[in-house]
Every structure is written in C-alpha cells, then in structure tokens.
A and B are shown apart, each in its own frame.
Chain A
C-alpha cells in the first residue's frame, strides 16, 4: 500500500486534479469536502500526510489543525496547509498552531507532490 494522503478541500475541481496527480505518483488518496468529516476520518483512519484547506465548511481548517496538533495521538501526522488565505497573519497563525508546511493557491502540482513526499518521509 502506498503512502496514504487525506485531502480536506471543498473545491471539487481541486480535489479532482490533486487526486489524479497524487494517485499517478503512487499515493493512496482519500478526500473530504468539509472540516468535520475530514477530522472524523482522520481519527478513525490516520493518514501519513494531510493536505488541509483553511476555508472549509462546518469546521474551518485552523480548528482542524488545532485539534490535530493538540491531540498527542494525532499530532505526529504531518499537515500541509493549502490555502487561498495567503496573508502573512494566516501563515503566522498556522505556524503558531504547529503546521508542518504552508502553501498558497494557486500552487504547482509538482511542488505540492514534492512537499507531500518530503513530509511523508519525516
């Protein structure tokens, strides 16, 4: 089984292209379209890496990140934030909460794949 990646992203087209690219690179990809479902899935089936959007319905990405990084059983899961909220204070807040990598939209597929690969090796 390949490295398992969980995508939490509410833009279906981004989920589709990301899933295609990661799948081609041998990753085992699942996706959720809102924060609450993503966190619920992560708890029962922890991935090797999580790709997390910040502006998610039901539970926003900052809150998902905070829950992951404050739970001793989950905090080792590397999280890359992939967001259109690219302002310095968003990055700072995500870093304060313990994010492992921060990428802003629009992004390059290749850079994202490399980032996920790097985090999976950690």
Chain B
C-alpha cells in the first residue's frame, strides 16, 4: 500500500503520515488502532516501543569505534529506522553476530593460552620426546653398550612412543571444536599491546625525566581552578602539563612514531596521552630513588604515596614500570575497573590474563575491594592452571562532578606471582606455601574450568 493511499484510508494528510513514519510525530489512541487494522498489524508492533528499541540499538551501533569517521549521525539513524526498518534490523542482526563472534574468538584464543588440559598435554608431549631423544642418542652414540643396556633403552623408546601416540590422539580431540583465532583490535587494545611490547618501560622517557627534573616548577605552577582536587592530583596534572609545555613532546612523539602497533590516529593519540602520564610519573617518582624506596618499604604502597607526594593509583602505576634491565622491581600486573566491571586500564603479566573487555572472575580482589572502599584487600589467588598470584586491590574515590551524583569509585589492583609475595608487606603473616588454602579463582566465567563454582554467572565457552 502506498503512503498516499494509506493516508487517504486513515483520513489524514500524506505529509502528516510522513512525519509519523519518520518518528517526528507521536501516534496513539484511535488513530493507532485504525492503522493497525488497515495494515493488519498488532498494536504492540505499532505502539512505538519496538521502534524506540530499534533507535536505541542503532545509536549504539553508530557509536562503535570501528565505524568512527563514517559520519553516522542521529538524523541518519531516524531516517533509516523510519524509512527502512527491515534494513535497520538486518544491520543490527549482523552487528550482533559480529560482536558475538569477536567475543567468542577472543575468548577461544585466550582459552588456548590458559587451558590447563592443553598445557598438560604439551608438557607431557615434551617430556615423552625428551625421554625418546635421550635414549636414542645413547643407542646412536655409545658403541660399547652391553646387550642388556641396549635392550633397556630400546624398550624405553617403545614405551614412550606408545604414550606419545595417545597424547597425539588427545591433542587432536582437543582442537576439534576450536577455530583459528583472530583478534580485532580497538585503539585502546592497540595501546595496551604497545605498552606490553615495551614491558611498560621506556628508557628514553626515564632519561628525559632525569634531564627535566629540577628545571620545572612542579609545586609552584598549579592551576588555581583545580583547588578542589587532592594535592597529589594537582602535582601530577602540573607535571603532565609541564612535560607537554616544555617541549619534550618530541621524545613522546618519537616513541609513538616508532610503534608499528599503533595503526590509527585514535590509537596514536591515546598512546601519546599514556606516555605523557608515564613521563609525568617518572618526573615525580625518579626511577632509582623510587625503586630503592619500594625495596626498603617492601612495596608498601601507602608509604610510597607519602614519601613521593603522589596518589595511590599513581604509585601503583609507577610500580608496574620498574622493568629497567639490571635494576628491576617485582614484576607487577595492573588492572583498574569501575563498579560495573568495565576495565579501564590493564597491564597483564605474561601468564596472568586480564580481561580486554568485560569482567574477570568475580572472586578477584579487584571486585571484592568495592565492599570496603579505601581499605586495601590482599588475596592469594590460585588459578586452575596451578599458577598462584598475590592480588592487592583498593577501591579509591575519584572526584564526583556534583553533589547529587553517586560517589565515583574505581578499584586499582596490583598482581604479582606468588613467589614474589614474601618480598612485599602484603605477604606478611600469610601462609604462602603451596599446600596453604588459597582462593580458587579463574580468568573469567567463559574461560574457567571450575564447573562447581558457586560464583559462576555464565557457561564456559568450552565445556569439559
């Protein structure tokens, strides 16, 4: 039915009907019932709720960073939903399936690296091959082997070969449901990977900080408008502004330009910002003095905050950068999350998976810290792979924009391998032996193999 015929049947003008179709006029009551009757549709389909959901979903789609730069504006969203609702829905179906696929691929890829079953198979394969290789080298290179010895090493090879065949079978079965992993990266993920490639340590920026220190009026050059901010934040912002103003932009830009990882302008801009914070932190917390203080205080974060006049979060950040070859601190991972579980900063350890998007395991101290804001939580966490970590987390309060808004909390968590726990004050008075009771955690529900966990919110991607 054409628009003009429908308008005539309903007894309204074609232009008014056009405005209704474009969601620029609302419709209800008797007119809505007549439209439903003429078109043979239910009221539910026509009452606007479905249309509003469609609009909301299209707005969310337009905000996808992968579509940035295509000029998708609100007018276009309304036009598409109004004129071509079926095409709009088709677009959303495709987008949802893409998001699901991305999530599944990322999770599978992570799972391959973390799966205790796969790790065990690989470990066994290496051990079997080691035994075969060692025995065959003896048979090959030792001329004067006694017959009894020769028989023995041949038997070992036979025995280990049979076990290797079983493992090959198990390996084949493991990979049957898996697919080739791919990863689509957002600018923030590119920056994460860039920092990780550098082990979160930038010697040129440490040198720049040493050269700049003392020439900058860090304490006397504060923005008067920032008086409501804590002193540590003011100092940090002043340091960052000074770093940018005093021309060492060149050092920062050189690091960014030399990074093939950073493929988009958005990623390069984010990296530049991250490195300016790095340089500001290096100014306020000189490497050698900070490392010495960290070792002396046994990585007591609050003691370091006081000594260097910096915030809890800045101190944690700086601890993660102590990776100078030959003068390294404890290797720490870092994660910052909001109460909704959105991870806003992360620096993983080689074998400790921190979520790129979405949540980690709800048992992690990063989340339990929200139960007592301001209090440091320490946790001995045991993963299904057998790896054990010390987690130290604190929910800290950020300035809120205005009184009626809720308190703004973020949780900042440091993680180190259990074997380093006794070097920190947070390992004191804890039983760190492997036989002690540890909190059984996982990476997240999708990747976790603990089937009987009372905290599980979602099925594992691979159910074993």
Whether A18 and B134, one on each chain, are in contact in the complex, defined by CB atoms closer than 8 angstroms, is: yes
B204 beta carbon closer than 8 Å to chain A: no
Assembly CA distance A21 to B420 (angstroms):
36
The contact of B131 among A13, A85, A87, by CB within 8 Å, is: A13
Assembly CA distance A96 to B325 (angstroms):
11
* 16 A-B pairs in the complex with CB atoms less than 8 angstroms apart: A11-B127, A13-B131, A14-B134, A17-B156, A24-B142, A59-B434, A66-B419, A84-B125, A86-B126, A87-B350, A96-B328, A97-B419, A105-B127, A107-B130, A107-B134, A109-B138
Chain B residues with CB under 8 Å of A76's CB are none
Whether B129 and A105, one on each chain, are in contact in the complex, defined by CB atoms closer than 8 angstroms, is: yes
A71 beta carbon closer than 8 Å to chain B: no
Interface hits, A20-47 → B, CB 8 Å: 20-21, 24
**Given contact pairs A87-B351, A93-B419, A96-B331, A13 touches B159 in the complex (Cβ within 8 A):** yes
Whether A17 and B434, one on each chain, are in contact in the complex, defined by CB atoms closer than 8 angstroms, is: no
B266 beta carbon closer than 8 Å to chain A: no
Assembly CA distance A88 to B124 (angstroms):
18
Whether B138 and A17, one on each chain, are in contact in the complex, defined by CB atoms closer than 8 angstroms, is: yes
Chief secondary structure at chain B's binding surface: helix
Whether A13 and B135, one on each chain, are in contact in the complex, defined by CB atoms closer than 8 angstroms, is: yes
In the complex, what residue of chain B is closest to A108 when comparing beta carbons?
B137
B32 beta carbon closer than 8 Å to chain A: no
List 7 tightest A-B contacts by C-beta distance, closest first: A89-B350, A84-B126, A105-B130, A17-B134, A13-B131, A106-B130, A106-B129
The total number of A-B Cβ pairs within 8 Å is 80
The contact of B349 among A20, A85, A89, by CB within 8 Å, is: A89
In the complex, what residue of chain B is closest to A89 when comparing beta carbons?
B350
Assembly CA distance A85 to B385 (angstroms):
12
Interface hits, A54-107 → B, CB 8 Å: 55, 59-60, 62-63, 66, 84-89, 92-93, 96-97, 104-107
B133 beta carbon closer than 8 Å to chain A: yes
Assembly CA distance A109 to B135 (angstroms):
9
Whether B131 and A14, one on each chain, are in contact in the complex, defined by CB atoms closer than 8 angstroms, is: yes
Assembly CA distance A13 to B156 (angstroms):
7
Contact with A along B131-164 (1 / 0, CB 8 A): 1111101100110000001001100100110000
**Given contact pairs A16-B156, A17-B153, A93-B417, A85 touches B123 in the complex (Cβ within 8 A):** yes
Interface hits, A104-121 → B, CB 8 Å: 104-110
Assembly CA distance A21 to B142 (angstroms):
9
**Given contact pairs A84-B126, A85-B123, A89-B351, A106 touches B156 in the complex (Cβ within 8 A):** no
The contact of B127 among A14, A60, A62, A109, by CB within 8 Å, is: A14
Assembly CA distance A92 to B419 (angstroms):
12
Assembly CA distance A17 to B152 (angstroms):
10
A111 to chain B, nearest CB (A): 10
Q: What residues make up the interface of A, taking CB atoms closer than 8 Å to B?
A: 11, 13-14, 16-18, 20-21, 24, 55, 59-60, 62-63, 66, 84-89, 92-93, 96-97, 104-110
In the complex, what residue of chain B is closest to A97 when comparing beta carbons?
B419
In the complex, what residue of chain A is closest to B120 when comparing beta carbons?
A55
In the complex, what residue of chain A is closest to B126 when comparing beta carbons?
A84
The contact of B130 among A14, A16, A63, A96, by CB within 8 Å, is: A14
Chain A residues with CB under 8 Å of B134's CB are 14, 17-18, 21, 106-107, 109
B145 to chain A, nearest CB (A): 9
Assembly CA distance A62 to B124 (angstroms):
18
Assembly CA distance A92 to B325 (angstroms):
12
Chain B residues with CB under 8 Å of A105's CB are 126-127, 129-130
B325 to chain A, nearest CB (A): 11
The contact of B126 among A62, A97, A106, by CB within 8 Å, is: A106
Chain B residues with CB under 8 Å of A63's CB are 419, 434
Contact with A along B413-431 (1 / 0, CB 8 A): 0000101100000000000
B31 to chain A, nearest CB (A): 67
Assembly CA distance A63 to B432 (angstroms):
11
In the complex, what residue of chain B is closest to A84 when comparing beta carbons?
B126
**Given contact pairs A13-B156, A14-B131, A89-B349, A55 touches B123 in the complex (Cβ within 8 A):** yes
Chain A residues with CB under 8 Å of B349's CB are 89
Whether B127 and A84, one on each chain, are in contact in the complex, defined by CB atoms closer than 8 angstroms, is: yes
Assembly CA distance A106 to B149 (angstroms):
22
Chain A residues with CB under 8 Å of B138's CB are 17, 20-21, 109
Assembly CA distance A107 to B134 (angstroms):
7
Chain A residues with CB under 8 Å of B156's CB are 13, 16-17
Chain B residues with CB under 8 Å of A86's CB are 126
In the complex, what residue of chain B is closest to A107 when comparing beta carbons?
B130
Supplied contacts A11-B127, A14-B134, A16-B152, 13 more A-B pairs, CB within 8 Å: A13-B135, A13-B156, A14-B127, A21-B137, A66-B419, A89-B350, A93-B417, A96-B328, A96-B420, A105-B127, A105-B129, A106-B126, A107-B130
Whether B135 and A17, one on each chain, are in contact in the complex, defined by CB atoms closer than 8 angstroms, is: yes
B43 to chain A, nearest CB (A): 61
